[in-house]
């Protein structure tokens, strides 16, 4: 390839790579703040890796909770319900899990936090492609 062609490719391809980011959102539920990160934006059919960081009211990371990820597609006429659950595993200061989205369209991701006998839920809406 000639130098102008390489430069032209770099001008068009590098900005797309530099701005490629996953999905990020934050919700508050009771005394917790839940930050959800998905490795793809928009999420895609198949495996999507998620990371959840939970903080208490003081802003301290919560690492002693049970975190369940319930992801489902809202009910639609003439379709079987699509509702899946997976436990998120603690790694360092965040919880991680993998969601396998089987259909494109709207999904709800409910992060269920259980700590000290109390349960709180943060819901996020995403559209899978």
Residue ranges of domains in the chain, CATH in brackets: 22-128 (2.60.40.1930)
SS (H, E, C) 66-78: EEEEEEEECCCCC
Comparing CA positions, the residue from 23, 34, 48 lying closest to residue 121 is: 34
CB count within 10 Å of CB 83 equals 12
pLDDT on residue 20: 55
pLDDT on residue 61: 98
CA pair distance 83, 54, nearest whole angstrom:
23
Residue-wise pLDDT tens for the chain (129 aa)?
A: 555 544 444 444 444 444 458 999 999 999 999 999 999 999 999 999 999 999 999 999 999 999 999 999 988 888 888 999 999 999 999 999 999 999 999 999 999 999 999 999 999 999 999
CB count within 10 Å of CB 110 equals 15
CA pair distance 111, 87, nearest whole angstrom:
10
């Amino acid at each position: 390839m000639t130098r102008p062609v390489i430069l032209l490719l770099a001008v068009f391809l590098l900005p797309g790579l530099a701005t490629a980011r996953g999905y990020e959102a934050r919700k508050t539920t009771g005394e917790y703040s839940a930050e959800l990160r998905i490795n793809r934006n928009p999420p895609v059919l198949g495996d999507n890796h998620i990371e959840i960081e939970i903080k208490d009211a003081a802003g301290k990371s919560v690492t002693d909770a049970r975190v369940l990820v319930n992801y489902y597609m809202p009910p639609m006429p003439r379709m079987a319900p699509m509702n899946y659950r997976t436990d998120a595993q603690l790694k360092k200061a965040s919880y991680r899990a993998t969601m396998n989205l089987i259909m494109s369209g709207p999904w709800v991701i409910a992060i269920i936090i259980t700590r000290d006998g109390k349960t709180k839920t943060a819901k996020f809406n995403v559209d899978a492609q």
